[in-house]
Structure 1
Amino acid sequence: MSHHFKETPENAITQSGIARVIPCKELDIGDPIKWLSLGLRDAMRTPILTAVYGVMFAVIPWFIMYLVEMTGWHLVIMPAIVCFMLIGPFLAAGLYDVSWELEKGHKPTFMHSLRAMRRNAVNEWGFGILLMVMMIFWLRVASLIHALYPSNIETTLESLMPFLVLGSIVGAGFTLAMLFVTAFTQPILMERKVDLATALLTSVNAVWVNKVPMLIWGAIIFTAVAIGFVTGFVGFIILMPLIGYASWHAYIDAISTKRARKYD
């Protein structure tokens, strides 16, 4: 590994006393591209498994949209998003398992990756519920911003501007919060028998210490999701497994382990 191990500098996160913070390493700006290339290599080595997970990632949002169109949007969208937020982490755990099995020199199997979802199930569910609460909060804030917007003025770009700017700032803030919370929490939960608070604080700390590489990584994930939506979720079939595998490599690079990882 090219990374120099450096003890995590003390900061408010490591000093908080809420939970243990696993030390992290310092990342380089080019690392996100390396994670993608390692993720792509994993995908090429397990094409069938990758396709199975990719199709699952594409079918779920497609099914949500289908239900929304069938029934009128407001009744279905919330429970559907809730379902996706709860299922998403478990699908991701399956992908992490595939990369982890490859790292160990094993042949990944679908059944093994499904079993990975049970490894730290209580904390995984806790993580899913946390994501769901953040999502509901975000939807509430979005509808509040919408409610504040006066409906009686002409909809010119000028009149929409403050509304768009406020929405964008809040959206960006929320997206950043999601990056801090989700970057490494899940692979930590899957590989280590730790509680949710430890995993969350470790993730937040690792993103904080490596702001620039992690912002680049966040932008890559955001772009992948945007491409997925623009392509009617077809893009998810390839992009979601790729991001999943790459996230595992990001975790290996960022979070310290007692023994060296045998991954090139």
Structure 2
Amino acid sequence: MSQQFKETPQNAITESGIARVIPCKELDIGDPIKWLSLGLRDALRSPGLTFFYGLLFAVIPWLIMYLVQMTGWHLVILPAMVCFMLIGPFLAAGLYDISWEYEKNHKPTLSHSLKAMKRNAVNEWGFGILLLVLMIFWLRVASLIHALYPPYLDENFESLLPFLALGTIIGGLFTLVMLFITAFTQPILMERKVDLATAVLSSVNAVWVNKLPMLIWGGMIFTAVAIGFVTGFVGFIILMPLVGYASWHAYIDTIVTKRGRDYE
């Protein structure tokens, strides 16, 4: 399968003293829907692997909420959702591998997908550490917001509203930053032996060039996470593998190569 470019490769970061930037193509506003349809196709082709990773994605937020209940800090529910969105791209490597195997006309296996992190191990683990640092930073900000809550106020919606609004605004801005950083970093590191700075800058560049389609895509991901929480994490069993598969197709559709990909 060879990649066809719909537009001339774009590069919003013309110069970088940190690393090179892999160009991207200009996306259409309807491309996120196409990515989801391709992701659904991959999910239906590998139901066993999809269920395995879906179950994994369901257990992780359950543990997060269990910790929230143990601490009694109800105001950290929103930060917990953001943390899950931070961890998601790192854990989705196995799902990317499954879609990649289908691209190469191979039959995906669990053992092969679990080895996905080893292809560019140093930089991929560096990406994991980066996500961990950002997650800790967000938790510290969330703790500061929680500390501002006066202890003498009743825990009703009217009293909590100012702090929920503040947390939502800050969390929204933080999530937007994370969309720029994480949108394509992990797939780039998986497919190409490049350094972490190159992958991150290429992701930032691709999101900046395609702001509207990527905002729609980010909104879809956030909606999937929200539905997962509303359904008591059961929805994650289906939705998170779907997002993972679709994210790989988003990468293939966005980040260009010097030569077309030909897996046959």
Q: Please tell me whether the aligned partners of residues 90 and 117 of structure 1 are also in contact (alpha carbons under 8 angstroms).
A: no
1:190 alignment partner in structure 2: 190
Counterpart Cα distance in 1 of 2:54 and 2:22: 31
Residue type at the aligned position of 1:243? V
1:25 alignment partner in structure 2: 25
2:136 alignment partner in structure 1: 136
Q: Please tell me whether the aligned partners of residues 207 and 214 of structure 1 are also in contact (alpha carbons under 8 angstroms).
A: yes
Residue type at the aligned position of 2:188? I
Sort the Cα spacing of 1:260 and 1:156 in 2 relative to 1 into closer, same or farther, 3 A.
same
2:107 alignment partner in structure 1: 107
Please give the secondary structure, in 2, of the residue aligned with 1:259. coil
Residue type at the aligned position of 2:10? T
Sort the Cα spacing of 1:239 and 1:16 in 2 relative to 1 into closer, same or farther, 3 A.
same
Query: TM-score scaled to structure 1, two decimals?
Result: 0.86
1:45-194 equivalences in 2 (<5 Å): 45-66=45-66, 69=69, 72=71, 88-152=88-152, 161-194=161-194
Please give the secondary structure, in 1, of the residue aligned with 2:127. helix
1:7 to 3, 6, 9: 9
Counterpart Cα distance in 1 of 2:44 and 2:8: 33
Q: Which moved more, 1:195-204 or 1:53-62?
A: 53-62
Sort the Cα spacing of 1:177 and 1:159 in 2 relative to 1 into closer, same or farther, 3 A.
same
Please give the secondary structure, in 1, of the residue aligned with 2:14. helix
Structure 1 gaps, min length 5: none
Sort the Cα spacing of 1:139 and 1:17 in 2 relative to 1 into closer, same or farther, 3 A.
same
C-alpha distance after superposition, 1:2-24 (max 9, x if no partner): 74231324x4x332321110000
Q: Please tell me whether the aligned partners of residues 53 and 95 of structure 1 are also in contact (alpha carbons under 8 angstroms).
A: yes
Q: Which moved more, 1:172-181 or 1:142-151?
A: 142-151
Counterpart Cα distance in 2 of 1:183 and 1:97: 16
Counterpart Cα distance in 1 of 2:64 and 2:173: 26
1:213 has 2:213 as partner? yes
* Matched pairs, number: 255
Q: Give 1:210 shift.
A: 0.3
Counterpart Cα distance in 2 of 1:86 and 1:156: 29
Q: Which moved more, 1:38-47 or 1:252-261?
A: 252-261
2:248 alignment partner in structure 1: 248
Structure 2 gaps, min length 5: none
Counterpart Cα distance in 2 of 1:158 and 1:72: 22
1:229 has 2:218 as partner? no
Q: Please tell me whether the aligned partners of residues 89 and 128 of structure 1 are also in contact (alpha carbons under 8 angstroms).
A: no
Query: TM-score scaled to structure 2, two decimals?
Result: 0.86
Sort the Cα spacing of 1:206 and 1:244 in 2 relative to 1 into closer, same or farther, 3 A.
same
Counterpart Cα distance in 2 of 1:172 and 1:64: 19
Sort the Cα spacing of 1:151 and 1:243 in 2 relative to 1 into closer, same or farther, 3 A.
same
Q: Which moved more, 1:246-255 or 1:123-132?
A: 123-132
Q: Please tell me whether the aligned partners of residues 6 and 26 of structure 1 are also in contact (alpha carbons under 8 angstroms).
A: yes
